[in-house]
Structure 1
Amino acid sequence: VKILPESVSLELDPAKQRFINKRFGSIGIAWIQDFPELIQACLSQWGLTLIGRAEAGLAVNTVFFVQRGEQACVLKVGLPQPEQLTEIEALGLFSSDQVVNVLAWDEPKRALLMERIQPGLTLRSLLDNPDLDTDLVSYAAPLLVSLQVPAEETCQLPTYQYWLKDGFSPEVLEQATKLAQYVDLALRLNRGLTDRYNDVFVLHGDLHHDNILKDSHLGWVAIDPKGVIGPRIYDCGRFIHNFIPLAADRGGTSDAVAVAAGLILRRCKTLSELSPYPTEDLI
């Protein structure tokens, strides 16, 4: 947490400014210039006192720790993106005891006010101890297998199939030659899974170690959903392969590939015991 005295500037840090300038051009430049005024407007609108700033998160978003009366809150503001709209829709659909609680949302400002999860320990912070890795799977399992809700026919969230089409577009693959060689295999595996799992659920879409936080009352809860429609099992993949190099490196072996493969297998076996999914499908 970066403590912000009253005299501190609300300008974005230089790294975020560079990223936004490069990616969004003149639109991003204008948004950066207006950012301090935007934050002040949010503080005034919701009666907030600025406490600190979170360092984690995507470059297009900035997260502040704020206080509203006696209530500890989080203010998340970002450059207008479609994912902000899918995030707020997903948060409204998931059970209130499994995700962060939304207090207010201002769509024109792309400003989201949420209850602060405390103490807010992330599962990632526990990866320093490789012996705990399977324990982390058990902590996350209730979210991985039961957070999702059936998707209504009127739901406008994107589908996983759209994600695959977009992610494997020729424009993307031209910039990711290493990824291109695995596209056919990925699509074949996807067809096999969708044949076996044809359920239609609203998924978190990004349920990894950094997006699962400890709440003193509710236990482990999820934050930052992408909001996507697909088979429920698809919410497990992001967690299973997340931070494999980090966890493997801490295992004290030079054969990183073997360690990573073993770690993935252990995660899948552990999750299989806590879910309706066989190990081979999780892999």
Structure 2
Amino acid sequence: MSGRSLTPGTGTGTSPESQPFSPWLRGWGLTPDGEPIHTHSSDLLPVRFEGQPAMLKVARVDEERVGHRLMVWYGGEGAARVLRHHEDALLLERVEGDLLLTEMVRAGWDDEASRVLCGVVRQLHTPRPQPWPELTPLTRWFRSLEEAAPRSGGIFTLSLEAARHLLGHPQDLRPLHGDIHHGNVLHSRERGWLAIDPKGLIGERGFDYANLFCNPDLEVAATPGRLARQSTVVAEAAGLDHRRLLQWILAYAGLSAAWHLEDGEEGQAQRTLAVASLAVAALND
């Protein structure tokens, strides 16, 4: 679950042969292999490329185009391989494993799912020989929280205070995926767990772990004792300072709630603020 730009849209009647897919189907010799998927930020189509399953993704917003640059930079290490890329379009290996992190959590393997996610993030954060691509500063993302806190007060104010402290004294800067959660890490039978759909940020590495605590859904996230336990698991697996991780959870949950308010999702905002409140309680414990 993410703050915005990720909710699949309803079917629009777009055929694979029509825009926005047609230039890439022709240019890269792709064959449609499933129904189109339309989100608020991208159009996706399962295809066959040189006989192999792949996923064509065409960006409709700048955030996705930045994410494409980061996906290319990953070079298939901890992430799905990029097979072709040009301007708005990205052709990815299609990851079709039979394991789901959401199902692991619901089967009682929450700790193990968190450790899988931490292992993937560790791979994504590993330095590469090539220079970083042009990415979005993490500070820019928190503008929505800057606007929401004065209007709404309460937990938003505490989230903003945490964010300002962390962003004002950053540690261990590097490229960030920006949207790590249980649905954005998929299992490949051949290559293991792989990330998809990065947002492409530059900032402190601890931020990339914060969204785990609003997932796999807000009902699970608010389970009594869950945040306290999983923050301990994640801090140990990721080599993070536990208190600083809790601050990132507080900051991110406030930001995500601010996005929900912008989108008119008052109920989702309140449920997300419940996660922020759990982080406050853990910080004060």
Q: TM over 0.5, yes or no?
A: yes
1:259-274 matched pairs, under 5 angstroms: 259-260=223-224, 262-274=225-237
Q: Which amino acid aligns with 1:43?
A: L
Report which of the two structures shows the higher radius of gyration computed on alpha carbons: 1
Q: Which runs of 5+ in 1 are unaligned?
A: 1-12, 19-31, 249-256
Give the whole-Å Cα distance in 2 for the aligned partners of 1:270 and 1:34.
Answer: 43
Task: Give the distance between the partners of 1:154 and 1:127, measured in 2 at CA.
Answer: 34
Q: Deviations over 1:38-67 (max 9, x none)?
A: 323321111111111365x73332322111
Aligned position for 1:189: 162
Q: Within 5 A, what are the aligned runs for 1:1-283?
A: 15=10, 17=12, 36-53=18-35, 58-79=39-60, 81-107=61-87, 110-119=88-97, 121-129=99-107, 131-148=108-125, 155-165=133-143, 167-168=144-145, 170=147, 173=148, 180-194=153-167, 197-247=170-220, 257=222, 259-260=223-224, 262-283=225-246
Equivalent-residue separation in structure 2 for 1:89 and 1:14 (angstroms):
24
State the 1:133 CA deviation.
1.0
Alpha-carbon deviation of 1:278?
Answer: 2.7
Gap change, CA 1:196 and 1:266, over 3 Å in 2: farther
Structure 2 unpaired stretches of 5+: 1-7, 247-285
Check 1:232–1:14 CA distance in 2 against 1; reply closer, same or farther (3 A cut).
Answer: closer
Distance 1:34 1:49 in 2: 9
Which amino acid counterpart does residue 241 of structure 2 have in structure 1?
P
Compute the TM-score of the two structures, normalised by the length of structure 2: 0.72
Shift of 1:216: 1.4
The separation in 2 between residues aligned to 1:45 and 1:133, in whole angstroms, is 43
Deviations 1:175-223 (A, max 9, x none): x966x53333123212433466422211000011110000112211100
CA RMSD in angstroms, aligned pairs only: 3.2
Deviations 1:87-124 (A, max 9, x none): 111112225221111111231xx222111113264422
Instruction: State how far apart, in whole Å, the 2-side matches of 1:83 and 1:124 are.
Output: 25
- Aligned pairs, number: 238
Taking the aligned partners of 2:43 and 2:105, their CA distance within structure 1 comes to: 25
Offset, 1:33? 10
Determine helix, strand or coil for the equivalent of 1:73: strand
CA contact (8 A) 1:149 1:202 kept: no
Distance 1:199 1:230 in 2: 8
TM-score by length of 1: 0.72
Are 2:185 and 2:194, in contact at CA under 8 Å, matched by a contact in 1? yes
Does the aligned pair in 2 maintain the 1:100–1:115 contact within 8 Å?
yes
Find the aligned partners of 1:123 and 1:217 in 2 and give their Cα distance. 17
